[in-house]
Chain A
Amino acid sequence: MIEIDIHKKLQGAEGEMLLQINSTIEKGSFTALSGVSGSGKTTFLRILAGLEKAEGEIRVDGEIWLDSVYVKPTQQRKIGFVFQNYALFPNMSIEEHLLFVNKDKTLAKELLDITQLSALANRLPATLSGGQQQRVNLCRAMMNQPTLLLMDEPLSALDNTMRTKLQNEILTLHKRFGTTTIMVSHDPSEIYNMAERVILLDSGKVIEDGSPKEVLLKTSGSAKFSFEGKLIDIVQVDVVYIAIIAIGQQLTEIVVSHDEIKHLTIGQMVNISTKAFSPLIKLT
């Protein structure tokens, strides 16, 4: 179990901001950390990793990682950190990355097998795709046999297919090694698929904390589904108008009346929901 009670002054976009987090994280759990950019997610991870200073206390399984007199050095924390920008060593092949952390060749082989990198073991980072680089980053983190795995938006730079693949690999590794995992993510479906718990940060404070279902599902009233999307265009077809709305990567056409378009501006974020057959569009 990780007990956290920390605070740190940050220089945010809107002046000074206090990052203040008081929480406990269960051993072996998978927690997602979400929130707008600048809300302190990355800093929080870096404090847990010992890469940044903070006031307060962190205890991991009763062991002190941070208190008013002692800061446990990053090197001794036995953690894994998956960096958003991969941060691979340009001079090392994939296999060398893994053995750099830990000389255990059996473990390295197992990790490379799980992530399907075995065939590329001797390649340098410059010759790898984004997805492959992120896998190396992940394997390197796992080589430390971490009690705590911290991931800073590990999948944000990847396309959808690669995301799904890596989500599964991350879950496999999380279960196989019984790691306590904290992952920063912005993607609700990713969080829903992977995490048991979501902590939502805003301006350095926890504003919501619960299961992904409680925090993320936002259908209200009798609506059966509800999507947030961006209004791309409105075209007139005979007497009706068609609104073209992007929901994620998907474009949809929704029929709107002449009265409705008066309230819509192109580029606006809108909410699309339906009760039965006729979709409704309302402003968000």
Chain B
Amino acid sequence: MIEILQNLDMTPFILSFKLALLTTSILLVISIPLAWYLSQTKSKMKPFLEAITALPLVLPPSVLGFYILVVLSSNSFVGAFFEEMFDIKLIFNFTGLVVASCIYSLPFMVQPIQGGFESLHKNILEASYVAGKGEIETIFRVALPNIKPALLTGLIITFAHTVGEFGVILMIGGSIPGETKVASIAIYEMVEIMDYTAAHIYSAIMVLMSFLVLLSVYIFNAKQAIKIGKYHV
């Protein structure tokens, strides 16, 4: 048993977590302004933007993967542009996975944060404006500190969702060891070649880590609820 564990190739896990960490960080930066805009706007465009943002939730990963593949390939304008200008290839490598994951996981970050912003009573934000503070200062000093549970939910679900991604990665990245062969793909391959021992170990690690992450989120949220939850406007 110990021997098996020692010989275990951890690269797919490291790759999975690197991908999830990068995706989560990038999405956090993109989602805060987007979620804020969606929560505050009265524009007629709002339902359209919301529908586009939510699209990855309902589309089969293969459909999404296919379109991303088409758009990012060197035959397309976007793919050709990046290859010409920055010498970056966007498919069948790690960079491509990050781009695809950001699209695929976008709603998992935007929706909780938007929900959090919308749950704030508008008087709280107005109190900040009356005090002379602009929108950016209001977001960082009033809005975000008061939606910590929503923020954490967004971060964790995005992270977990990216770790658990399979279909899109298979379409965009294939299974190149050390480059695009993440944990979920590795497990799939182990099952394919009937290496059930390794598949069991990999799967067990995934289950255990996912459980611990979710558990810590719920413990944190329960503590937050005790701290400031009694105050409702």
Q: Are A74 and B129 in contact (CB under 8 A)?
A: yes
Q: How far is the CB of A10 from chain B (nearest CB, A)?
A: 16
* In the complex, A75 has a CB within 8 A of chain B: yes
With the chains together, A257 CA to B146 CA distance in Å?
62
Known: A75-B134, A76-B132. A81 touches B145 (CB 8 A): no
Q: Are B142 and A89 in contact (CB under 8 A)?
A: yes
Contact segment of B50-58, B71-79, B118-126, B206-214: B118-126
Q: Are B127 and A83 in contact (CB under 8 A)?
A: yes
Given contacts A126-B228, A127-B230, 18 further A-B contacts (CB under 8 A): A49-B126, A51-B126, A51-B129, A76-B132, A81-B127, A81-B130, A83-B123, A85-B121, A86-B233, A87-B126, A89-B142, A91-B142, A91-B146, A101-B131, A124-B228, A126-B230, A140-B127, A143-B131
Q: How far is the CB of A220 from chain B (nearest CB, A)?
A: 41
* In the complex, A78 has a CB within 8 A of chain B: yes
* In the complex, A79 has a CB within 8 A of chain B: yes
With the chains together, A81 CA to B126 CA distance in Å?
9
* In the complex, A134 has a CB within 8 A of chain B: no
* In the complex, B133 has a CB within 8 A of chain A: yes
* In the complex, A100 has a CB within 8 A of chain B: yes
From the candidates A85, A126, A144, name the one contacting B130 in the complex (CB within 8 A).
Answer: A144
Binding site for A on B (CB under 8 A): 121, 123-124, 126-134, 141-142, 145-146, 227-231, 233
State which residues 66-97 of A face B: CB under 8 Å: 74-81, 83, 85-91
* In the complex, A40 has a CB within 8 A of chain B: no
Q: Are B130 and A90 in contact (CB under 8 A)?
A: no
State which residues 88-120 of A face B: CB under 8 Å: 88-91, 100-102
Q: Are A100 and B123 in contact (CB under 8 A)?
A: no
From the candidates A77, A81, A87, A125, name the one contacting B121 in the complex (CB within 8 A).
Answer: A87
What chain A residues lie within 8 Å of B123 (beta carbons)?
83, 85, 87
With the chains together, A79 CA to B126 CA distance in Å?
12
Q: Are A89 and B124 in contact (CB under 8 A)?
A: yes
From the candidates B133, B227, B228, B229, name the one contacting A75 in the complex (CB within 8 A).
Answer: B133
Known: A85-B123, A86-B233, A87-B233. A79 touches B141 (CB 8 A): no
Q: How far is the CB of A226 from chain B (nearest CB, A)?
A: 38
With the chains together, A141 CA to B123 CA distance in Å?
13
Q: Are B133 and A90 in contact (CB under 8 A)?
A: no
Q: Are A88 and B231 in contact (CB under 8 A)?
A: yes
Q: Nearest A residue to B129 by beta-carbon distance?
A: A74
What chain B residues lie within 8 Å of A88 (beta carbons)?
124, 127, 231, 233
Q: Nearest A residue to B142 by beta-carbon distance?
A: A89
Most chain B C-beta atoms within 10 Å of own C-beta, residue among A74, A75, A101, A144: A75
Known: A87-B121, A89-B124, A91-B146. A100 touches B231 (CB 8 A): no
What chain A residues lie within 8 Å of B133 (beta carbons)?
75, 100
Q: How far is the CB of A111 from chain B (nearest CB, A)?
A: 14
What 0/1 readout, one digit per residue, does chain A (131-170) give for beta carbons within 8 Å of chain B?
0000000001101100000000000000000000000000
With the chains together, A88 CA to B125 CA distance in Å?
10
What chain A residues lie within 8 Å of B126 (beta carbons)?
49, 51, 74, 81, 83, 87
Q: How far is the CB of B6 from chain A (nearest CB, A)?
A: 47
Q: How far is the CB of A182 from chain B (nearest CB, A)?
A: 14
23 A-B contacts (beta carbon < 8 Å): A49-B126, A51-B130, A75-B129, A75-B133, A81-B126, A83-B127, A85-B123, A87-B123, A91-B142, A100-B128, A100-B133, A100-B141, A102-B131, A124-B228, A124-B231, A125-B228, A126-B227, A126-B228, A140-B127, A140-B131, A143-B131, A144-B131, A144-B132
With the chains together, A164 CA to B223 CA distance in Å?
38
What chain A residues lie within 8 Å of B231 (beta carbons)?
88, 90, 124-126
Q: Are A74 and B146 in contact (CB under 8 A)?
A: no
What chain A residues lie within 8 Å of B227 (beta carbons)?
124, 126
Q: How far is the CB of B66 from chain A (nearest CB, A)?
A: 44
